[in-house]
């Protein structure tokens, strides 16, 4: 595996594990909001499939490297199940309600 591929893999895995919340658009036309929702959910679905596929593929490569691919693909199965678990975790994070944001312009503990 080349260095560039390793760096890309680490960046992808970091993105999977990191938290990412979406903010809802304010005062948008219904068509624009529907398009934003379509793009958001398409991205979530693609990320889910990519996590399962990429981590499963890495398990397959590890099976080939260790010689286990011919007898029983242990790392492939582990990769697929790990990819499913990470995909479901990311799906839950992205579909959960974003935390309430406060729009206070002045700090609360500042006293004159």
Whether residue 79 lies inside any domain: the answer is: yes
* pTM, full prediction: 0.56
Whether residue 37 lies inside any domain: the answer is: no
Query: Which pLDDT tens digits describe the chain residue by residue (112 residues)?
Result: 566 666 676 677 666 666 554 455 555 666 777 788 788 888 888 999 999 999 999 999 999 999 888 889 999 999 999 999 999 998 888 888 564 444 445 555 555 4
**DSSP code per residue over 27-95:** S--HHHHHHHHHHHHHHHHHHHHHHHHHHHHHHHHHHHHHT-TTT--HHHHHHHHHHHHHHHHHHHHHH
**Residue 66 sits in which domain range?**
54-96
Whether residue 27 lies inside any domain: the answer is: no
Total domains in the chain come to 1
- pLDDT for residue 44: 87
């Amino acid at each position: 595996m080349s260095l560039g591929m390793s760096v890309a893999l680490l960046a992808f895995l970091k993105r999977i594990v990191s938290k990412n919340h979406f903010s809802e658009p304010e005062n948008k036309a219904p068509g624009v909001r529907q398009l934003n929702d379509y793009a958001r959910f398409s991205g979530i679905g693609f990320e889910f499939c990519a996590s399962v596929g990429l981590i499963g593929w890495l398990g397959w490569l590890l099976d080939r490297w260790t010689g286990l691919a011919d007898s029983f693909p242990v790392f492939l199965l582990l990769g697929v199940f790990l990819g499913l678990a990470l995909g479901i975790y990311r799906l839950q994070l992205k579909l959960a309600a974003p935390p309430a944001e406060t729009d206070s312009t002045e700090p609360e503990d500042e006293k004159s």
